[in-house]
Structure 1
Amino acid sequence: MTTDAKTKPLFYEPGASWLWVLSGPAAGASLVLIEVWSGAPVSLVVPAIFLVMVSAFIALQVKAARIHVSVELTEDALRQGTETILLREIVRVYPEAENSPKSDKPLAKWQTARTLGELSGVPRGRHAIGLRLTGGRTAQAWAKRHRHLRDALTPLIQERVEPAGSDVTDGDDDAGAEL
C-alpha cells in the first residue's frame, strides 16, 4: 500500500463539465445547416474555423473552472479551487444564514469573511457556508450543492470537536447579525 494513495472523496463538484466543449461541433454543424437551408454553396472552411475556435475557447473555460471552482471534501481536508484547508483547522460549521448577501438586511459576521480559494468572492451559482477556523478566524466555504457539502462536513467537524453530550459555545457567536 502506498502512502500517497488518495482517500475517496465524501463530496465532490468538478466545477464544470467537459460536455460544454461539444458546443464547438454544434456551432460548426449549425453553420453548415444555415448554408444548406439558405441555398448557398456549402463551404466547410468557416464552419471548421467556428468548430475549432468555439471548442478551444470553451475548453479553456472548462479547464479553468475545473481548477478554480471545483470542491472536494475528504476525511482529512476540504479543497476549494486551489486552496486546501485541513479539517483539523475547522472548529465549527455555522448554520445557514438568515439573510442573503444580496438583500439589504443585516448579514451574519461569517458572510463578510474571506472566501476560501483564490477567488475574490463566492463563485456565481454557488452558496456560502460559514466556517469558524482555529485562531478565531472565520471563512466562507462554497458549493453549488451547498446543503450536501454541509451535510457531509458538519458530522466530520462535530465528531472531532464536540465530546459526547457536550454543548459547544465559544463565547463568540459569529452566526448572529452584525449590529
Structure 2
Amino acid sequence: MAEADVREAVASDAAEIARIQVQTWETAYAEVLPPAVLAGLDTAEAEQEWREAVTSGAATVLLAIEGRWTVGFCAAGLAPESEVAAADGTLPEDSSTTVLVSALLVEPRWGRRGHAGRLLATMGRRFTERGATRGITWVPESDSASLSFYRSAGWDPDGTVRTLDAGGRPLREMRLTGPLDLELEHH
C-alpha cells in the first residue's frame, strides 16, 4: 500500500472535497437517498460550501491521503446544542465539550484501507487536546457500513433518532456517541 496520511484541508482542497462527497453519495447512498436528490447534487455549490467551511474556522476539516491522492475527508466541530440535546431538549452535562462529526467520507474504491479510522482518530486527538470529552454523529439507520465502522470505533447509538425529509422520502438517522481517544491498530 502507498503511504497513507491525514492532513488539514485548505481552501484549495474544496473542489476535491466536493468531488469526493458527490461521488461517494452517488455510490454509497444510492439505496438510501431518492434518485432526484442524488441527481440534484451540485459539485460547484458543494465546493463553495466546503471552501467556506475550511476558511471560516467553523469546522475542522481533515483529508485522508494515499500516495498523491486525496481519498476521503472528515469535518467536525463543537456540537451545537440542538445536535447534542436529548429528545426532550435537555442538555447533557458535557454538552459544551461534545464534538459533532458532521461528515466522514472515504471514496468506496479506497475503502477498507484504514482511512476512516485514521481520520476519526486524528480528529479525536485534535479535539481532545482542546478539552473535548466525546463525539457524536448522525448515521442513516440503513447505512450498515457506516454503523459498523463507528461501532468498531466504540461509538454506539444513544437512543436518539431523527427523521429528515430526503426529497419527499423520510430518512431516519440514529445518533451515535463515542470516545475521542481512539487507538489505531497497526497491521
Does the TM-score normalized on the shorter chain lie above 0.5? no
> TM-score if structure 2 supplies the norm length?
0.27
The higher radius of gyration belongs to: 1
Identify the structure with the greater strand proportion: 2
